[in-house]
Structure 1
């Protein structure tokens, strides 16, 4: 190997063989490039030798997308610089490298303080204006704040506040990606719509994307083809993010009920109604079942970040967390009062309700929500010590047309019949909850896996979205191929071949 920065894989790099999916792999080399030029050189060398490349960021994915099956690991964690800022039409746009972590981005935006070495005059002028302006933030809020921007864009992850702020794609103005030839391609938003018959793929003389076949909306932009594609068509190395004004007031309210049906009724009422008052609105509605609360209770015994909230009695069947954003405290208070009234009518405990506001207290609430997957992963790791073949086993299905209680009752009954412990948490909007299995042995693991296959097929038939924000990766590629029409799969392969002719980028994801 001749390219600078490529290192033989050694035991000290062992942590880079896995991600949060609990799957592990193998590799022969690894690199930590700091510039897109370095990435291009590495890709060219690997493509020239037909060596597979697995792209990594924060390794927070749960579908095994960042797990190498062989070949080279291209880890982008050292591409962690913020490159510039511009102000256009009253909006701010921040240019970042793909390895910038979400928690670091949030911190620097909050403090309005950046390392500006190498910034041009336009960026420095925009920063001067930015410091005198309102507070701004980037709306996507995935649960795992150590995720990198590149990974968030690769899976189109949006997190709990997508209920108010919508799809992550709309907050991405431009990307720079490296294709399978090692060529850099800049893709700005607004240059081409995918439905434009004159637009063909970069590096292709004739191949055009069929948006109808891929079920892309009429207004889909060319950039949207790459966002959520899990690096199969190219490696995102830079992105320009569209910022939005941070709400002056943020409240978090946690509701608890002793009866599960009361929580189901409350959730369904929330799904049907629209709660807005002046500038205030609901930003997030999150559900956690009893098993999830039990696991968080165990984690709280050793996790300092969870100590700021009162203990949750074991009598509660679950929790619904609601976050409110707005400019005026009075507007938020009005919505909160309506929610308290509705929760009481639905049978939630009016004597035990969490109501917090301010940045520090909201972080406590979000830490509690983050403890849901964290505590489940800890429990799963215990089973993996007995059998390393066990991996993360969870759903990512959105079934917006169903009744919330009916859907969760179906999940629960099927899972109980399956005989495997499970926990359910996730987004009430769209009925996008995650059923997490906690098998005690490989036999139970296979039973849970078969049940998820059943749910995935049924959901696909009923018009649900079966891969919503976690991606496909390696763990779910069989499901992906099972529920995706062969014409669509063939078209995806053609796009892949046009962008990555030697098939080195993230080999083993989506397809064998």
Structure 2
């Protein structure tokens, strides 16, 4: 599992950057889904951290893929397996959204073949072995939760933190995680973490530091918090490893608490996994909130705001509200696509989001993606129903 790998690496002062919330997930599963997590802001998703894969194709052919060894010629991908069997197919000439994205196959002109299998949701082959790229453990971390009175100030802090990180002008600030909690998420969390009782909006900020620059970074961060009207007096600051882990548990607890509430009250959750370009995030979040308020549907908002990736969970109280929530979910997906975003930033399409995936690309592009599957899996035996609509399987 991911947790076993990370624990093993501690003895060697190394770590594997991808950090999805579920620590007991399998490494193969994280590769098949191109898993991500809070550290995606700095390190990207799983794709960046895979050096090689050993894959068994549906027909039993075996191939060892090493990064940078097999690349498409423009949009034509050709390769051979260990036995010498040849494969060739055309990639769709399409641009995938310029945001954190886990919807459908990764497609890019001149792309590396290994990246096609990463995030393919088990539809193209079975991953049996992987070589991971590792990094030295950081010397130290600063981790803190900052509270704001309104969403605009919270997002201003996020946006300025990212711009400073990108421009690196006269600043040491370089967050590796920026996570968001709205007032409704904090209300859920306050039952387990009383220090957030009554707070409106919160941002979890985490950064790797060295001892010699830690104090200067904290000073620069404090100034930025003040400039963005953050509550400097009530910051939840982690001073040791236990407290750093407590803040991580705070971030991970929101999903569990929402699910417990759903189960306890025999309700259904309708939750988004949407990311949009940063210039549209505020408008998109406000659109979601206002839509729910107008329809009297309760909701909880949180997510990986550093990547403009929102988990917006609607909590309908009955069957009528559930139908309304599903209608709103469709509208949220349409709005995300209109803004140039994705309907799935990290969870993938699976079987439940197939109809929403069709909002992102013309049917021609989806069928070209499906042709890739048919080339590698001519009998269509691997994970039937994932990603593609059922009608594609029935067409001759």
Specify the TM-score bucket, using the shorter chain as the normaliser: 0.7 to 0.9
Which whole-Å deviations, capped at 9, do the CAs of 1:330-355 have from their partners, x for residues lacking one? 32332222222221232222211012
Is the Cα contact below 8 Å between 2:154 and 2:201 reproduced in 1?
Answer: yes
Residue of structure 1 equivalent to 2:56: 178
Cα distance, 1:163 vs. partner? 1.0
Give the structure, 1 or 2, with the largest relative contact order (CA under 8 Å, sep 6 or more): 2
Larger deviation: 198-207 or 368-377? Answer: 198-207
Residue of structure 1 equivalent to 2:197: 314
Secondary structure (helix, strand or coil) at the match of 2:141 reads strand
Q: 1:342 aligns with which of 212, 219, 224?
A: 224
Secondary structure (helix, strand or coil) at the match of 2:212 reads helix
Cα distance, 1:413 vs. partner? 0.7
Q: 2:7 aligns with which of 83, 107, 123?
A: 107
Which whole-Å deviations, capped at 9, do the CAs of 1:87-122 have from their partners, x for residues lacking one? xxxxxxxxxxxxxx111111111134xxxxxxxxxx
In structure 1, runs of 5+ residues without a counterpart are 1-100, 113-134, 301-309
Counting only pairs closer than 5 Å after superposition, residues 249-328 of structure 1 correspond to structure 2 as 249-274=140-165, 281-298=174-191, 300=192, 311-326=194-209, 328=210
Structure 1 pair 198/261, CA: closer, same or farther in 2 (3 Å)?
closer
Structure 1 pair 217/197, CA: closer, same or farther in 2 (3 Å)?
closer
Cα distance, 1:474 vs. partner? 1.3
RMSD: 2.4
Distance 2:44 2:251 in 1: 19
TM-score w.r.t. length of structure 2:
0.87
Cα distance, 1:278 vs. partner? 8.6
Larger radius of gyration: 1
Is the Cα contact below 8 Å between 2:92 and 2:369 reproduced in 1?
Answer: no
Residue of structure 1 equivalent to 2:332: 455
Secondary structure (helix, strand or coil) at the match of 1:170 reads helix
Is the Cα contact below 8 Å between 1:400 and 1:432 reproduced in 2?
Answer: no
Counting only pairs closer than 5 Å after superposition, residues 391-402 of structure 1 correspond to structure 2 as 392-402=269-279
Distance 2:287 2:256 in 1: 25
Distance 1:208 1:293 in 2: 49
Which whole-Å deviations, capped at 9, do the CAs of 1:42-86 have from their partners, x for residues lacking one? xxxxxxxxxxxxxxxxxxxxxxxxxxxxxxxxxxxxxxxxxxxxx
Q: 1:194 aligns with which of 58, 72, 83?
A: 72
Which whole-Å deviations, capped at 9, do the CAs of 1:110-135 have from their partners, x for residues lacking one? 134xxxxxxxxxxxxxxxxxxxxxx2
Cα distance, 1:188 vs. partner? 1.5
Structure 1 pair 398/382, CA: closer, same or farther in 2 (3 Å)?
same
Distance 2:339 2:352 in 1: 23
Distance 2:72 2:270 in 1: 34
Q: 1:230 aligns with which of 116, 121, 135?
A: 121
Is the Cα contact below 8 Å between 2:277 and 2:340 reproduced in 1?
Answer: no
Q: 2:261 aligns with which of 376, 379, 401?
A: 379
Distance 1:410 1:267 in 2: 19
Cα distance, 1:281 vs. partner? 2.5
Residue of structure 1 equivalent to 2:46: 168
Distance 1:459 1:403 in 2: 9
Residue of structure 1 equivalent to 2:32: 154
Are 2:284 and 1:407 equivalent residues in the alignment? yes
In structure 2, runs of 5+ residues without a counterpart are 97-106, 391-396
